[in-house]
Protein backbone atom coordinates (compact mmCIF):
# COMPACT_ATOMS: atom_id res chain seq x y z
CA UNK A 1 0.00 0.00 0.00
CA UNK A 2 1.11 3.58 -0.69
CA UNK A 3 3.04 4.93 2.33
CA UNK A 4 0.89 7.57 3.98
CA UNK A 5 1.75 10.39 6.37
CA UNK A 6 0.21 10.78 9.80
CA UNK A 7 -0.78 8.41 12.56
CA UNK A 8 -4.15 6.80 13.16
CA UNK A 9 -5.94 6.95 16.48
CA UNK A 10 -7.28 3.49 17.21
CA UNK A 11 -11.08 3.65 17.42
CA UNK A 12 -11.99 0.04 16.71
CA UNK A 13 -15.47 -1.31 17.40
CA UNK A 14 -15.16 -4.94 18.47
CA UNK A 15 -18.78 -5.57 17.45
CA UNK A 16 -17.76 -5.14 13.81
CA UNK A 17 -14.48 -7.09 13.39
CA UNK A 18 -12.36 -6.53 10.30
CA UNK A 19 -13.93 -8.28 7.31
CA UNK A 20 -12.44 -8.96 3.91
CA UNK A 21 -15.72 -10.42 2.68
CA UNK A 22 -19.41 -9.61 2.78
CA UNK A 23 -22.28 -12.05 2.29
CA UNK A 24 -24.84 -10.53 -0.07
CA UNK A 25 -27.77 -12.49 -1.41
CA UNK A 26 -25.95 -15.75 -0.76
CA UNK A 27 -22.82 -14.55 -2.56
CA UNK A 28 -19.48 -13.90 -0.89
CA UNK A 29 -18.15 -10.49 -1.98
CA UNK A 30 -14.46 -9.83 -1.37
CA UNK A 31 -13.02 -6.43 -0.46
CA UNK A 32 -9.45 -7.60 -1.09
CA UNK A 33 -9.74 -5.63 -4.33
CA UNK A 34 -11.73 -2.37 -4.61
CA UNK A 35 -15.15 -2.48 -6.26
CA UNK A 36 -16.89 -0.03 -8.60
CA UNK A 37 -20.42 1.25 -7.99
CA UNK A 38 -22.12 2.81 -11.01
CA UNK A 39 -24.61 5.62 -10.37
CA UNK A 40 -28.10 5.43 -11.87
CA UNK A 41 -30.13 8.51 -10.93
CA UNK A 42 -33.87 8.08 -11.43
CA UNK A 43 -34.40 11.79 -10.97
CA UNK A 44 -34.84 14.86 -13.19
CA UNK A 45 -32.60 17.11 -11.12
CA UNK A 46 -29.43 15.25 -10.13
CA UNK A 47 -26.46 17.56 -10.53
CA UNK A 48 -24.85 15.57 -13.38
CA UNK A 49 -27.18 15.14 -16.35
CA UNK A 50 -25.26 12.13 -17.69
CA UNK A 51 -26.37 9.99 -14.75
CA UNK A 52 -30.10 10.65 -15.12
CA UNK A 53 -32.51 7.94 -16.24
CA UNK A 54 -35.79 9.38 -15.03
CA UNK A 55 -39.07 7.55 -15.76
CA UNK A 56 -37.67 5.66 -18.71
CA UNK A 57 -36.72 1.99 -18.59
CA UNK A 58 -34.98 2.49 -21.93
CA UNK A 59 -32.65 5.00 -20.28
CA UNK A 60 -32.21 2.70 -17.28
CA UNK A 61 -31.35 -0.15 -19.65
CA UNK A 62 -28.80 1.93 -21.57
CA UNK A 63 -27.10 3.24 -18.44
CA UNK A 64 -27.14 -0.11 -16.61
CA UNK A 65 -25.73 -1.96 -19.62
CA UNK A 66 -22.96 0.62 -20.02
CA UNK A 67 -22.00 0.53 -16.34
CA UNK A 68 -21.98 -3.26 -16.15
CA UNK A 69 -20.06 -3.78 -19.39
CA UNK A 70 -17.48 -1.25 -18.24
CA UNK A 71 -16.81 -2.99 -14.93
CA UNK A 72 -19.35 -1.98 -12.28
CA UNK A 73 -20.14 -4.80 -9.86
CA UNK A 74 -22.77 -2.68 -8.07
CA UNK A 75 -25.43 -0.31 -9.43
CA UNK A 76 -26.66 2.42 -7.08
CA UNK A 77 -30.23 3.48 -7.84
CA UNK A 78 -31.65 6.67 -6.37
CA UNK A 79 -35.04 8.32 -6.77
CA UNK A 80 -34.43 11.35 -4.55
CA UNK A 81 -31.74 13.85 -5.50
CA UNK A 82 -29.48 14.61 -2.54
CA UNK A 83 -27.62 17.52 -4.12
CA UNK A 84 -27.54 20.68 -1.97
CA UNK A 85 -30.91 22.43 -2.06
CA UNK A 86 -32.63 19.64 -3.98
CA UNK A 87 -36.41 19.65 -4.07
CA UNK A 88 -38.26 17.27 -1.78
CA UNK A 89 -39.85 14.19 -3.34
CA UNK A 90 -42.96 12.43 -2.04
CA UNK A 91 -42.64 8.90 -0.74
CA UNK A 92 -44.85 7.49 -3.48
CA UNK A 93 -42.97 9.34 -6.22
CA UNK A 94 -39.67 7.91 -4.97
CA UNK A 95 -41.12 4.40 -4.92
CA UNK A 96 -42.57 4.85 -8.42
CA UNK A 97 -39.17 5.92 -9.71
CA UNK A 98 -37.10 3.21 -8.02
CA UNK A 99 -39.05 -0.05 -8.05
CA UNK A 100 -39.54 -0.52 -11.83
CA UNK A 101 -35.80 0.05 -12.36
CA UNK A 102 -34.87 -2.44 -9.63
CA UNK A 103 -37.16 -5.07 -11.16
CA UNK A 104 -35.83 -4.50 -14.68
CA UNK A 105 -32.17 -4.76 -13.66
CA UNK A 106 -32.87 -7.83 -11.49
CA UNK A 107 -34.60 -9.54 -14.41
CA UNK A 108 -31.97 -8.66 -17.00
CA UNK A 109 -28.74 -8.64 -14.95
CA UNK A 110 -29.34 -11.07 -12.07
CA UNK A 111 -25.64 -11.27 -11.17
CA UNK A 112 -25.30 -7.52 -10.65
CA UNK A 113 -25.66 -6.20 -7.11
CA UNK A 114 -28.20 -3.41 -6.67
CA UNK A 115 -27.92 -0.73 -4.03
CA UNK A 116 -30.93 1.47 -3.31
CA UNK A 117 -29.94 5.04 -2.43
CA UNK A 118 -32.64 6.16 0.00
CA UNK A 119 -33.12 7.45 3.54
CA UNK A 120 -36.71 6.18 3.71
CA UNK A 121 -37.43 2.82 5.31
CA UNK A 122 -40.45 2.04 3.14
CA UNK A 123 -38.51 2.66 -0.08
CA UNK A 124 -35.70 0.45 1.22
CA UNK A 125 -38.13 -2.35 2.10
CA UNK A 126 -39.93 -2.23 -1.25
CA UNK A 127 -36.64 -2.13 -3.16
CA UNK A 128 -35.14 -5.11 -1.32
CA UNK A 129 -38.35 -7.08 -1.81
CA UNK A 130 -38.17 -6.22 -5.53
CA UNK A 131 -34.63 -7.56 -5.88
CA UNK A 132 -32.17 -4.96 -4.51
CA UNK A 133 -29.38 -6.17 -2.23
CA UNK A 134 -27.97 -3.17 -0.32
CA UNK A 135 -29.42 -0.10 1.41
CA UNK A 136 -27.41 3.11 0.91
CA UNK A 137 -28.59 5.76 3.39
CA UNK A 138 -27.16 9.28 3.28
CA UNK A 139 -28.47 9.92 6.80
CA UNK A 140 -27.31 6.70 8.52
CA UNK A 141 -30.80 6.35 9.96
CA UNK A 142 -31.26 9.94 11.15
CA UNK A 143 -34.01 10.95 8.69
CA UNK A 144 -36.35 7.98 9.24
CA UNK A 145 -36.69 6.43 12.69
CA UNK A 146 -37.85 3.15 11.11
CA UNK A 147 -34.78 2.71 8.89
CA UNK A 148 -32.46 0.83 11.24
CA UNK A 149 -35.11 -1.63 12.36
CA UNK A 150 -36.07 -2.17 8.73
CA UNK A 151 -32.48 -2.86 7.63
CA UNK A 152 -31.99 -5.22 10.56
CA UNK A 153 -35.15 -7.13 9.66
CA UNK A 154 -34.17 -7.31 6.00
CA UNK A 155 -30.67 -8.58 6.97
CA UNK A 156 -28.95 -6.75 4.13
CA UNK A 157 -25.71 -4.73 4.09
CA UNK A 158 -26.10 -1.09 5.09
CA UNK A 159 -24.09 1.82 3.72
CA UNK A 160 -24.08 4.55 6.37
CA UNK A 161 -22.98 8.03 5.33
CA UNK A 162 -22.05 11.02 7.47
CA UNK A 163 -24.22 14.08 6.97
CA UNK A 164 -25.63 16.86 9.11
CA UNK A 165 -29.21 18.02 8.58
CA UNK A 166 -30.81 17.14 5.25
CA UNK A 167 -30.18 17.93 1.57
CA UNK A 168 -32.12 21.18 1.90
CA UNK A 169 -30.06 22.66 4.76
CA UNK A 170 -26.85 20.63 5.07
CA UNK A 171 -24.57 23.30 3.61
CA UNK A 172 -25.45 25.56 6.54
CA UNK A 173 -24.11 22.98 8.98
CA UNK A 174 -20.38 22.99 8.27
CA UNK A 175 -19.06 24.30 11.60
CA UNK A 176 -16.73 21.70 13.15
CA UNK A 177 -14.07 22.12 15.81
CA UNK A 178 -12.32 18.87 14.77
CA UNK A 179 -13.99 17.49 11.65
CA UNK A 180 -12.03 14.25 11.42
CA UNK A 181 -12.37 13.44 15.10
CA UNK A 182 -16.06 14.34 15.12
CA UNK A 183 -16.86 12.17 12.11
CA UNK A 184 -14.91 9.20 13.48
CA UNK A 185 -16.75 9.57 16.78
CA UNK A 186 -20.05 9.85 14.89
CA UNK A 187 -19.37 6.49 13.26
CA UNK A 188 -18.33 4.78 16.49
CA UNK A 189 -21.64 5.85 18.03
CA UNK A 190 -23.55 4.77 14.93
CA UNK A 191 -21.88 1.36 14.90
CA UNK A 192 -22.95 0.77 18.49
CA UNK A 193 -26.48 1.77 17.52
CA UNK A 194 -26.44 -0.56 14.53
CA UNK A 195 -25.19 -3.43 16.69
CA UNK A 196 -28.07 -2.97 19.11
CA UNK A 197 -30.56 -3.17 16.26
CA UNK A 198 -28.89 -6.29 14.87
CA UNK A 199 -27.41 -4.87 11.67
CA UNK A 200 -24.48 -7.15 10.83
CA UNK A 201 -22.83 -5.79 7.68
CA UNK A 202 -21.91 -2.11 7.48
CA UNK A 203 -20.05 0.00 4.91
CA UNK A 204 -19.13 3.55 5.87
CA UNK A 205 -19.13 6.66 3.68
CA UNK A 206 -17.47 9.87 4.98
CA UNK A 207 -20.00 11.91 2.97
CA UNK A 208 -17.91 14.11 0.70
CA UNK A 209 -19.93 17.20 -0.16
CA UNK A 210 -22.52 16.67 2.56
CA UNK A 211 -22.32 19.39 5.24
CA UNK A 212 -18.67 20.04 4.35
CA UNK A 213 -16.88 23.00 2.84
CA UNK A 214 -14.43 22.71 -0.04
CA UNK A 215 -11.48 22.80 2.36
CA UNK A 216 -13.08 20.24 4.68
CA UNK A 217 -13.66 17.83 1.81
CA UNK A 218 -9.99 17.88 0.85
CA UNK A 219 -8.88 17.58 4.46
CA UNK A 220 -11.01 14.44 4.81
CA UNK A 221 -9.71 13.01 1.55
CA UNK A 222 -6.10 13.57 2.67
CA UNK A 223 -6.94 11.71 5.87
CA UNK A 224 -9.14 9.00 4.37
CA UNK A 225 -6.77 6.30 5.66
CA UNK A 226 -7.84 7.22 9.20
CA UNK A 227 -11.22 5.60 8.56
CA UNK A 228 -9.48 2.23 8.34
CA UNK A 229 -9.35 2.35 12.13
CA UNK A 230 -13.06 1.52 12.07
CA UNK A 231 -12.19 -1.84 10.45
CA UNK A 232 -15.01 -1.63 7.90
CA UNK A 233 -15.19 -1.19 4.12
CA UNK A 234 -15.07 2.47 3.09
CA UNK A 235 -17.07 3.91 0.19
CA UNK A 236 -15.89 7.08 -1.52
CA UNK A 237 -18.24 9.16 -3.63
CA UNK A 238 -16.47 12.17 -5.13
CA UNK A 239 -17.42 11.72 -8.76
CA UNK A 240 -17.86 15.08 -10.55
CA UNK A 241 -18.77 16.77 -7.26
CA UNK A 242 -18.42 20.49 -6.58
CA UNK A 243 -15.24 19.85 -4.58
CA UNK A 244 -13.69 19.23 -8.00
CA UNK A 245 -15.55 21.73 -10.18
CA UNK A 246 -15.13 24.57 -7.66
CA UNK A 247 -11.44 23.86 -7.14
CA UNK A 248 -10.84 23.89 -10.89
CA UNK A 249 -13.44 26.56 -11.75
CA UNK A 250 -15.21 24.28 -14.22
CA UNK A 251 -18.63 22.66 -14.63
CA UNK A 252 -19.58 19.14 -13.49
CA UNK A 253 -19.63 18.11 -17.16
CA UNK A 254 -15.93 18.99 -17.35
CA UNK A 255 -14.88 17.29 -14.09
CA UNK A 256 -14.03 13.80 -15.33
CA UNK A 257 -10.27 14.36 -15.34
CA UNK A 258 -10.35 15.74 -11.81
CA UNK A 259 -12.53 12.84 -10.71
CA UNK A 260 -10.03 10.35 -12.09
CA UNK A 261 -7.16 12.02 -10.26
CA UNK A 262 -8.98 12.02 -6.93
CA UNK A 263 -10.25 8.48 -7.38
CA UNK A 264 -6.68 7.24 -7.70
CA UNK A 265 -5.74 9.15 -4.57
CA UNK A 266 -8.73 7.63 -2.73
CA UNK A 267 -7.66 4.14 -3.76
CA UNK A 268 -4.16 4.79 -2.47
CA UNK A 269 -5.74 5.92 0.79
CA UNK A 270 -7.59 2.63 1.17
CA UNK A 271 -11.02 3.15 -0.45
CA UNK A 272 -12.88 -0.14 -0.94
CA UNK A 273 -15.70 1.12 -3.18
CA UNK A 274 -15.69 3.97 -5.67
CA UNK A 275 -19.15 5.36 -6.41
CA UNK A 276 -18.88 6.87 -9.88
CA UNK A 277 -20.74 8.28 -12.86
CA UNK A 278 -18.06 7.25 -15.36
CA UNK A 279 -17.40 3.55 -14.86
CA UNK A 280 -15.11 3.00 -17.85
CA UNK A 281 -12.64 5.64 -16.73
CA UNK A 282 -12.88 4.53 -13.10
CA UNK A 283 -12.19 0.94 -14.13
CA UNK A 284 -9.09 2.03 -16.03
CA UNK A 285 -7.97 3.87 -12.90
CA UNK A 286 -8.61 0.75 -10.83
CA UNK A 287 -6.66 -1.44 -13.26
CA UNK A 288 -3.67 0.89 -13.05
CA UNK A 289 -3.94 0.94 -9.25
CA UNK A 290 -3.98 -2.88 -9.20
CA UNK A 291 -0.94 -2.90 -11.49
CA UNK A 292 0.90 -0.59 -9.11
CA UNK A 293 -0.18 -2.57 -6.03
CA UNK A 294 -0.84 -6.17 -7.19
With vertex at residue 265, the alpha carbon angle to CA 260 and CA 270, rounded to the nearest 5 degrees, is: 125
In contact, 9 and 45? CB cutoff 8 Å: no
Bridge partner residues of 37 (DSSP)? 74, 275
In contact, 20 and 34? CB cutoff 8 Å: no
Going by the DSSP 8-state scheme, the letter that residue 27 receives in this structure is E
In contact, 118 and 98? CB cutoff 8 Å: yes
Active site residues: 241, 275
Which of 93-97's residues contact partners 24+ apart within 8 Å by CB, and which partners? 94/118, 94/120, 94/123, 95/122, 95/123, 95/126, 97/42, 97/43, 97/54, 97/55
Name, in order, each residue with C-beta under 8 angstroms of 51's C-beta and a sequence gap of 6 or more: 39, 40, 41, 63, 277
Alpha-carbon torsion, ordered 37, 158, 103, 112, to 10 deg: 40
Q: Give the N- to C-terminal CA distance of the chain in Å, as an integer.
A: 10
Return the sign of the alpha-carbon dihedral for residues 4, 140, 149, 115: negative
Residue 31, classified by CB atoms within 10 Å of its CB into exposed (0-12), middle (13-18) or buried (19+), is middle
Amino acid sequence: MFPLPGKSSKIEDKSFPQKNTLLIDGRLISWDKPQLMGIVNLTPDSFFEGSRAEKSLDKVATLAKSHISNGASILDLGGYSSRPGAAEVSLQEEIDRVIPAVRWITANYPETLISVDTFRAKVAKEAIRSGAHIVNDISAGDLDEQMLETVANLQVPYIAMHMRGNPQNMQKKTNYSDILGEILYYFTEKLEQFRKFGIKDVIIDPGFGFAKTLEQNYFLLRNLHQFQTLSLPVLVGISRKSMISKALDIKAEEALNGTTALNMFALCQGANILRVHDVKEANETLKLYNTLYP
